[in-house]
Amino acid sequence: MSDLTDLTVAGIRDGFRKGDFSAREVADAFNGAVASGRTLNAFIVETPEHAIAAAEAADRGRAAGEFSPLSGVPLGIKDLFCTEGYQTTAASHILEGFTPTYESTVSARLFAAGAGMLGKLNMDQFAMGSSNETSAFGNVISPWRRRDGGNAALAPGGSSGGSSAAIAGRLVPAATGTDTGGSIRQPAAFTGISGIKPTYGRCSRWGIVAFASSLDQAGPMARDVRDCALLLEVMSGFDPKDSTSLDVAVPRWEAALSGDLKGKRVGIPKEYRVDGMPEEIEALWQQGIAWMKDAGAEIVDISLPHTKYALPAYYIIAPAEASSNLARYDGVRYGQRDLPDGAGLQDMYAATRAAGFGSEVKRRIMIGTYVLSAGYYDAYYTQAQKVRALIVRDFEQAWEKCDVLLTPTAPSAAFGLGEKQADPIAMYLNDVFTVPASLAGLPAMSVPAGLDGQGLPLGLQIIGKPLDEQSVLDAGLAIEERAGFAARAERWW
C-alpha cells in the first residue's frame, strides 16, 4: 500500500469506504507526519487524540454500514477557528491560554461530517500578514526550497501559512483557511496547493476570531480542486448566528465538477499586468490563457479601471474594522492581562494591549483608529467605501462580458523569511491581485500552475460571479488537468 499521507481527501474518503484501510490507520499516519514535521512549525497545538477519536468513530460507523461525507478524514484547523476545549489564539500572545467553550460553525460542520482534527495551525497574528512572520508562536517554514542550494528558509505565505505548509509538507491532507485580502489564495500559490475563498456569506463567520468582518471568509485549502469542492460543500451553509450568512442552498459542487469550458467566457483584466512583475509570471498567465482556450473557453479582454485603488481602499477598510473588532481584547473577559502595580482600569487596558499584541497588529489598530477618528472619517473611511463601490461596479460590468476572470495569484513566488519584514508596504503588495475580489465579496481560488526558475510554485487565480463557485472550480479544474502540476517539496525536515 502506498503512503496514506500521499492521499487526497477524496482518496481517503473513497479508499476508506472501499475498505482499503481503516480510519485509524489514516489518523495514525498523519499524526506521525505531524510529529515528525515539527521543524516546519506549522502547528501551535497538536491534537492527535481528536483525530483518533474521530477515526475510531468512523471505523465503528463503517462496521455498521454508516458513512458521513468526511468519514475517516483528518484535517488541520487554522488557529482562527474557535475549537471547544482546545486553545485558540489567532497566533497572538493576547489570547494565549484561551480555551473556547464553544465550537465555530465551520469546524462544527466539518466534525459533524466525520472529520477529525490533527491540530491548530499556525498563522499570521490575527490573520494580519502575508508571510506568517507576525505569529507570536514563531515563523512557519515552507517545505519548499530554492534550487540554488542555499537552503534559505522561505515564507509559506500568509496569513494561512500553517495551513499551506502543512498541506504542502503532507502533514495534513487538507485544512481550513480564512481569507480577508488573500490569506487563502496567496499561501496556496506559494506552496503549490489549491485554495478557494467562497462568496462572502457562504461560510458562517460565527466562532472565527474576527479581523475585518466585511471581508473575512473561511474556505478550504487542499492538494487539488476536487478536495476544495467537497470540503467547501461541508463548510458552507446558512447560519442564523451570523447576520451576514446567506440563506441560499449549497450546490453539489463536487458532483458537478467539469473541466470542459465550452461556452464559457474567460476575462483577462488588463490592469493586472503590473510594472515590474517577473517575466515568468507573465509567461505563466499566457500559458493559463492557452489552457483556457484548449478547454473550450472564449477569451475576452476586460478592463477593471479601479484595480489600482483596491489595495489603498483595503488598507483603510481592513484596519478600520480591525481596530473596532480588536477593542474586545481588554484583559477582562479572556486572554492575557497585564496589570502594573497600582494601575487603574485604563492603565490595565493599555498595558494589556501593549504586551499582548504584536507590532503588525498594533500598526493596523493605530491606522484604523486614525482613519476612523473625528475629522478624518469622511476623508478616509467614507471615501474608501465609495471607491469600494466603484470596484464592485467594475466587476459587475465585467460580468456582462465574461463568466470568470483569470489572473496571476501573487506578483512573485515565495520570498525568503525576513526579506520583506522591514517594509510593511512591500509586504502589503503581495495581495495586490487578491484584494480586489475580497473587496467585492467574490468567490476566487488559486490553483498551482507551474514552477519558476528556482523551482518554486506559482499559482493562477480565478475570480467568479457572486455565488458562482461552480464556474470558479470548473476553470480551476481545467487548469489543473492541463498543468499536470506534480511537483512537491523534497523532504528535508
Partner 1 sequence: MLAATLSTRFTQDAMSVDSATVRKIASLARIAVSDAEVEAFVPELNKILGLVEQLGEVDTSGVAPLAAVIPNHLRLRDDVVTDGDIRDRVLKNAPQAEHGFFAVPKVIE
What part of residues 316-345 is at the interface with partner 1 (CB under 8 A)? 316, 323, 327, 330-337, 339, 343-345
Which DSSP helix (H) or strand (E) runs through 473?
A: helix 469-483
Interacting residue with partner 1 among 351, 481, 487, 488 (CB under 8 A): 351
Contact characters 269-298, partner 1, x per CB under 8 A? -----xxxx---------------------
In sequence order, which residues have a C-beta less than 8 Å from that of residue 305 and are 6 or more positions away? 271, 394
Minimum distance from residue 67 beta carbon to partner 1 (Å) = 32
Residue 230 amino acid letter: L
Which residue(s) pair with 459 in the sheet? 448
From the list 71, 135, 159, 194, the catalytic residue is: 159
Minimum distance from residue 439 beta carbon to partner 1 (Å) = 7
DSSP one-letter string for 264-289: -EEEEEGGG--TT--HHHHHHHHHHH
Q: Does 127 bind partner 1 (CB under 8 A)?
A: no
Q: Does 213 bind partner 1 (CB under 8 A)?
A: no
Per CB under 8 A, which of residues 463..492 are in contact with partner 1?
Answer: 466-467
Q: Is 159 a catalytic residue?
A: yes
Minimum distance from residue 479 beta carbon to partner 1 (Å) = 24
| Nearer to partner 1 among residue 108 and residue 313 (C-beta) | 313
3-state secondary structure 314-381: HHHHHHHHHHHHHHHCCCCCCCCCCCCCCCCHHHHHHHHHHHHCCHHHHHHHHHHHHHHCCCCHHHHH
Residues that contact partner 1, how many (by CB under 8 A): 84
Q: Are 108 and 241 in contact (CB under 8 A)?
A: no
From the list 92, 163, 183, 236, the catalytic residue is: 183
Per CB under 8 A, which of residues 355..374 are in contact with partner 1?
Answer: 357, 362-363, 365-367, 369-371, 373
Q: Does 433 bind partner 1 (CB under 8 A)?
A: no
Q: Is 183 a catalytic residue?
A: yes
From the list 68, 71, 78, 142, the catalytic residue is: 78
Q: Does 204 bind partner 1 (CB under 8 A)?
A: no
Contact characters 408-427, partner 1, x per CB under 8 A? ---xx-------x--xxxx-
Q: Which three cell numbers stand for residue 436?
A: 480586489
Whole-number Å distance between alpha carbons of 407 and 310 = 15
Q: Does 256 bind partner 1 (CB under 8 A)?
A: no
Q: Does 300 bind partner 1 (CB under 8 A)?
A: no
Buried b (16+ CB within 10 A) or exposed e, 368-382: bbebbeeeeeeebbe
Q: Does 439 bind partner 1 (CB under 8 A)?
A: yes
| Nearer to partner 1 among residue 154 and residue 313 (C-beta) | 313
Per CB under 8 A, which of residues 382..411 are in contact with partner 1?
Answer: 382-390, 392, 411
Question: Taking Cα atoms as reference points, which of 125, 133, 126 lies closest to residue 155?
Answer: 133
| Nearer to partner 1 among residue 39 and residue 243 (C-beta) | 243
In sequence order, which residues have a C-beta less than 8 Å from that of residue 435 and are 6 or more positions away? 181, 182, 310, 311, 314
Backbone angles phi, psi at 108, to 5 degrees: -60, -40
Q: Is 241 a catalytic residue?
A: no
**Residue 219: C-alpha distances to residues 8, 162, 238, 374 (Å):** 17, 14, 15, 36
Distinct helix (H) and strand (E) counts, the chain: 17, 11
Catalytic residues: 78, 159, 183
